[in-house]
């Protein structure tokens, strides 16, 4: 079985050798290693050529213009001939030399459309941490017609229930059957941040999914990464493109699935809420307020004509406090909402935790800690 490993690269000369070494030293050797040069300005291409001269499994494809991560992955998909595909970021590494061998064994056994596995974050001080709470699971799960994936998927997407899996849009935590991606004509968006989010709309279409409890990927958070470099000027435009692709996937393939109309709104609401909370500390107050206004306008455009409050039932716990979102939805009926009101409505969505969550946290805390917090607040 041939496995195609697709690695876009751009300005990664400091990390590229470690990435490539983790791939070429895999114990499973039937690999097609596709290195996509996205017009890298540094010495990365020379490193790619150095490895290609020593290993005939490596092919280098060069872009004439920069297409970002999504476009480079698409280039790899066009030329890939492997039965399975693994997307790797060029500043990350495969965590173990036995990873591909294990994944191939599982793919042969289950004929999986998608295999999900774990990743760990690695830091400059050599510390490691499990990403997204992933893969604290101690057993494998195989989903098929007899054990459908869709119920697990919906509980995860809507309510953050992680009994079986924790779904991340990141493609490097998944091994894909190439025919599955081709069947649904999936392509990543070019020139777009978070281009992997629409992959969440693709996952429920998989007929056979295997969840593994193993960590096979080392992810490095670098300076200048998406989340450490502030808000791009065209951030909202990026999410408009993501929303369009998500709706296209839904309208083409998912309309007959139960409660599928909730998938796209919840994915958008969750990810924008999550990213805003992460970015807030890096923004000035005026920049943050302008960002909230843009988020309000985006939500009104995306949600008011596609889904109503009555359709968000039961309430998707993953998107936060129901009362705050209800206030946002009700305001959509007003054609002239003041800027200050938009800021307050979306800030409440971002910052207010549900009363149930507050109550649960309070119950779990020792009484002395709770009392200390009460005393401090009363001063």
The band of 129, judged by pLDDT with boundaries at 50, 70 and 90, is low
Q: Where are the alpha helices (DSSP H) in 187-284?
A: 199-202, 235-249, 263-279
C-alpha span between 212 and 119 (Å, rounded): 11
At 326, list the tokens: 């209800």
Q: What is the overall mean pLDDT for the chain?
A: 87
Residue 213: which of 153, 143, 166 has the closest Cα? 166
Cα angle 299, 300, 303; round to 5? 70
Residues, the chain: 379
At 327, list the tokens: 């206030």
CA atoms within 13 A on the CB side of 282: 12
Residue 105: which of 28, 41, 12, 26 has the closest Cα? 28
Domain-wise residue ranges, the chain: 3-228, 235-352
- Mean pLDDT value of segment 140-164: 90
CATH architecture, range 3-228: Alpha-Beta Complex (3.90)
Res 356 pLDDT > 50? no
Report the b/e string of 145-182 with b at 16+ CB within 10 A: eeeebbebbbbbbbeeebebbbbbbbbbbbbbbbebbe
Res 325 pLDDT > 70? yes
Res 362 pLDDT > 80? no
Q: Where are the alpha helices (DSSP H) in the chain?
A: 16-24, 44-54, 68-79, 99-110, 149-159, 178-183, 199-202, 235-249, 263-279, 285-303, 322-331, 339-351, 355-364, 367-378
Which range is least confidently modeled, 53-57, 62-66, 176-180, 280-284?
280-284
Cβ neighbours of residue 346 closer than 8 Å, sequence gap 6 or more: 292, 293, 295, 296, 299, 328
- Mean pLDDT value of segment 87-113: 97
The pLDDT of residue 223: 61
- Mean pLDDT value of segment 70-85: 97
Number of H helices, E strands in the chain: 14, 10
The band of 363, judged by pLDDT with boundaries at 50, 70 and 90, is very low
The pLDDT of residue 229: 42
pLDDT in tens, 196-245: 999 999 999 999 999 999 999 999 876 644 434 445 557 788 899 999 99
- Mean pLDDT value of segment 310-338: 92
Please give the share of the chain, as a percent, with pLDDT higher than 70: 86
The pLDDT of residue 126: 59
């Amino acid at each position: 079985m041939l496995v195609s490993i697709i690695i876009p690269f751009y300005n990664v000369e400091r990390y590229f050798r470690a990435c490539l070494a983790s791939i070429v030293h895999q114990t499973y050797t039937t690999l097609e290693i596709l290195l996509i040069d996205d017009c890298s300005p540094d010495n990365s291409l020379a490193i790619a050529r150095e490895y290609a001269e020593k290993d005939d499994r490596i092919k280098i494809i060069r872009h004439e213009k920069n297409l970002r991560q999504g476009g480079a992955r698409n280039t790899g998909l066009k030329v890939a001939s492997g039965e399975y595909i693994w997307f790797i970021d060029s500043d990350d590494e495969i965590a173990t030399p036995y990873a591909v061998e294990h994944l191939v064994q599982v793919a042969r056994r289950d004929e999986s459309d998608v295999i999900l596995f774990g990743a760990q974050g690695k830091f400059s001080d050599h510390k490691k941490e499990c990403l997204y709470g992933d893969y604290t699971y101690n057993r494998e799960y195989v989903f098929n017609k007899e054990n459908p994936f869709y119920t697990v998927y919906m509980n995860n997407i809507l309510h953050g229930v992680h009994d079986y899996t924790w779904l991340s849009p990141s493609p490097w935590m998944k091994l894909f059957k190439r025919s599955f991606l081709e069947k649904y004509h999936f392509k990543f968006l070019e020139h777009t941040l978070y281009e992997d989010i629409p992959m969440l709309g693709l996952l429920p279409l998989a007929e056979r999914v295997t969840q593994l409890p193993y960590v096979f990927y080392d992810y490095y958070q670098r300076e200048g990464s998406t989340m450490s470099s502030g808000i791009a000027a065209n951030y909202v435009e990026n999410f408009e493109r993501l929303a369009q692709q998500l709706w296209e996937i839904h309208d083409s393939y998912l309309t007959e699935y139960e409660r599928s109309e909730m998938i796209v709104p919840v994915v958008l609401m969750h990810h924008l809420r999550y990213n805003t909370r992460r970015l807030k500390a890096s923004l000035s107050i005026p920049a943050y307020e302008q960002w909230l206004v843009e988020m309000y306008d985006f939500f009104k455009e995306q949600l008011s004509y596609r889904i109503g409050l009555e359709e968000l039932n039961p309430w998707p716990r993953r998107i936060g406090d129901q009362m705050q979102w209800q206030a946002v939805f009700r305001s959509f009926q007003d054609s002239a909402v003041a800027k200050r009101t938009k800021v307050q409505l979306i800030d409440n969505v971002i910052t207010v935790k549900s009363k149930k969550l507050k109550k649960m946290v309070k119950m779990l805390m020792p009484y002395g800690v709770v009392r200390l917090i009460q005393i401090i607040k009363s001063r």
